[in-house]
């Protein structure tokens, strides 16, 4: 195949992959290292078609590993404008194990420069946010830290889990023991670029042998 055509096909595939990655709603990444578990999240959230059913006051960030797996990332101080949206998720694979508990973070989402968010499975699977923070589709982010903890003590099951909302937006939960593992889209893109390089080298060798 013509190397130019291969390059064009690869470029189209990479664009499609990256577009799909970018279209994801919120991506949570949990990492365990040296007795510490950290989580960071980033992304945008589509509230189309969602109507709040209650307003709650929540404090601190925590992970609850139980029959109703939950994640809440909130500021260190009381946060009194969480709005609850019920029956939000059409699929919510369980990312916790049976030996976990209710673990509060040591360092919570910063009081400024980040956005509070929470979600849980079980009956009335719900999303908790402040709509004012998520308006306009802006990029949002935050993080929290659990010292003297591990995935095992927190009841987190390594893997990648996608919770799909009724409006087709998603919350992706990546639980990885290493921060150096590339995202699937990045790994695929690197592989495709390798194919292009191989095709180019093969063509040059053929030209050199003819010459």
Tell me the average pLDDT across 54-63. Answer: 82
Tell me the average pLDDT across 106-128. Answer: 79
Is 152 part of any domain?
Answer: yes
pLDDT, residue 162, reads 96
63 is in which domain, residue-wise?
A: 26-179
Is 113 part of any domain?
Answer: yes
At residue 147, φ and ψ (nearest 5 deg) are -85, 160
Count of domains for the chain? 1
Is 39 part of any domain?
Answer: yes
Secondary structure element (H or E) that encloses residue 210, with its range: helix 184-210
The pLDDT mean for the chain works out to 76
pLDDT, residue 85, reads 92
Please state, for a pLDDT cut of 70, what percent of the chain lies above it: 65
The model's pTM: 0.71
- Alpha carbons 175 and 178: distance in angstroms, whole number: 9
Is 192 part of any domain?
Answer: no
Is 78 part of any domain?
Answer: yes
The per-residue pLDDT for range 186-207, each reduced to its tens digit, is 444 445 445 445 455 555 565 5
Is 69 part of any domain?
Answer: yes
- Binned at pLDDT 50, 70 and 90, residue 161 comes out as very high
Is 42 part of any domain?
Answer: yes
- 146 strand-pairing partners: 37
Is 203 part of any domain?
Answer: no
- Cα dihedral 82, 83, 85, 91 in deg (nearest 10): -20
């Amino acid at each position: 195949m013509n190397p130019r055509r291969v390059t064009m096909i690869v470029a189209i595939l990479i664009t499609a992959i990256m577009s799909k990655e970018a279209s994801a709603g919120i991506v949570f990444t949990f990492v365990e290292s040296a007795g510490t578990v950290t989580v960071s999240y980033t992304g945008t959230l589509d509230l189309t078609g969602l109507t709040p059913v209650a307003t709650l006051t929540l404090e601190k960030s925590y992970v609850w590993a139980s029959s109703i797996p939950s994640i809440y990332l909130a500021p260190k101080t009381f946060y009194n404008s969480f709005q609850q949206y019920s029956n939000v998720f059409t699929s919510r694979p369980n990312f916790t194990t049976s030996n976990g508990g209710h673990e509060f973070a040591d360092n919570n989402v910063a009081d400024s420069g980040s956005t509070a968010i929470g979600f849980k499975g079980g009956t009335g699977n719900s999303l908790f946010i402040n709509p004012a923070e998520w308006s306009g589709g802006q990029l949002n982010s935050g993080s929290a830290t659990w010292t003297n903890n591990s995935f095992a003590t927190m009841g987190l099951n390594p893997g990648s889990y996608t919770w799909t909302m009724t409006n087709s937006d998603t919350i992706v939960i990546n639980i990885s023991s290493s921060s150096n593992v590339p995202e699937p889209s990045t790994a695929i893109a690197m592989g495709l670029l390798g194919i292009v390089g191989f095709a180019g080298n093969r063509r040059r060798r053929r030209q050199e042998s003819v010459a």
